[in-house]
Amino acid sequence: MTAPRPPEPFNFDLTSPEPEAPVTPAGGEPPRKSAGRNIVVVMLGTLGSRLSGIVRQQVINALPPGLTDAFNAAISIPNLLRELLAEGALVNSFIPVYKSLDAAERRVLARAISGALIAVNLLLLALGVLAAPWLARLLIPAGSNIDFQLVVYMTRLLVPFLMLISLSAIAMGLLNADEHFRESSFAPVAFNLASIAALLVTPNTATWLALGWLVGGFAQLVVQLPALSRFGVLPTPALIRHPALRRVLLNMLPFMLTAGARQILNVYVVRLLASAQYSRGTVTGYRNAETLFTLANGLFVVSPALAYFPRLSQHAADRDWPAFRGLTLQALRLVTFLAAPVSALLVALSGYAVSVFNLTSQLNAGQLEKFQAGSGILSGWALALVPWAINTILLRTFYARERVAEAVTVSAVGFVLEVLLYRLLTPVFGFFGFGLATTISGVLVGLSLGLMYRRRLGFPVRALLAHLLRVLPIAALAGLAAYAVSRVLPAPGPIIPGLLGLALAGGVGGAVYLALALALRLPELRGLLRRGRGG
């Protein structure tokens, strides 16, 4: 890597027009779209995905707690492999390498990596079916309140999901690399709608609950194929060698270690919540909180990060470090501006948010246990949203430069710390301790990544801190306003009070944040308003 240039002054008025980069003939680059338009497209797709995901979770929650707890445990293994081989490691490792090649080499790499993925997934399919009892034993401790044999059965049914989601991830990577975000961003909506349809028209059994998940994975892949064909990037899978494939795999290895650590942490949490010390329905409550947190994180953090990542990768491939640093700070300011009020509102209104999963007017004992677990876990996780936002952007700056090992080493240490904090904090703070542990480890990981970035490229720490010192206080005031309004509203639990609280208390809190942001003349708000008017 060439020696970095010294940091240059920054000017980040997001209301100013974004320069359009010229076409790169050697790489076959299409004309670039506005970064702001890309972010809006990805956010809309994510919003549709997360809202339909909530509906899907509502349908699942209507099933008996014993069945849903078994399903949520069984899906942990496919989700672990999904993170290792598909949407996480693959996309983030593939795009920087793909952007560094010319058009002909890109086509060969796409054929090679899709062929390799199919071969690996066929092997995992066989292993998953044979090893299902052992995998279930990792998830379900002795004396658990979850049916062990049911978890084994559903694990075997869900293993093919990995093949579908891996091929879907390749499609996403090919489309996103050339900044075609619409089709890949709305593909998860197809997953949710197909799953919901399957659940509604089939019997409420373990077999159809698992098969509905497979139907969704198939739909997510199929809806992207026309776009791949239209843009001329639909690959023909083949078991062939390519030098760039080795680069992708090398970048994936350390990423897989971090993703594996995160999913092992998730398995640890599921195992903990499935133990006899927690009541039946706690695992489902955890998943409900996770669904809402991923809605907020996906919409306001991951969506902008996905939109920025191809351009960060191109700046890294071009060794244009001033532009790279500038885009980094712009991304950090935008995601923290969006994440801070959402974090404060979720802390204040976690009970109202979790209520959306309870479709009845009164809660029975099982629903009450789900509600209490989900509300407590979500209120803690909400604190972690801003640290996660910073880490999400900083991690992608390392992936874009193909310096994956550095980033994932810090992340892996952070996950170990998070597990230790779980052990220390959950006995004291209960469900809230999960989020508190995630917040503390997230802050420490963000500081480490920022120092590493600064040492290599230079980074305007003061500019980011000045931004945070304006954004975080007004977000806290918005959360306090929402909490004050919630005190005079009906208590959360059933869906109607939940929606009422989110609309009224959340609306007041959001209005307070926007008014204060406008009074402070934050450029991020002006930029979003301009884009909303089509400017």
Q: What dihedral do alpha carbons 93, 96, 101, 102 form, nearest 10°?
A: 120
Average pLDDT score, the chain: 82
With 0-12 / 13-18 / 19 or more C-beta atoms within 10 angstroms meaning exposed / middle / buried, residue 398 is buried
Amino acid at 404: V
Specify the pLDDT at position 258: 65
Asked if pLDDT for residue 466 goes beyond 90, the answer is yes
DSSP secondary structure string for all residues of 398-417: HHHTT-HHHHHHHHHHHHHH
Structure tokens at 107: 């086509």
Specify the pLDDT at position 266: 67
Cα separation of 168 and 443, whole Å? 32
- CA 223 from chain centre, in angstroms, equals 21
Cα separation of 46 and 42, whole Å? 6
Cα separation of 507 and 511, whole Å? 6
**For residues 436-442, average pLDDT:** 90
pLDDT band at 147 (very low <50, low <70, confident <90, very high): confident
Q: Is the pTM of this model over 0.85?
A: no
pLDDT tens profile 50-84: 888 888 888 887 888 788 888 888 887 777 666 66
pLDDT band at 262 (very low <50, low <70, confident <90, very high): low
Question: Going by C-beta distance under 8 Å and a sequence separation of 6 or more, which residues neighbour residue 186?
Answer: 45, 48, 49, 223
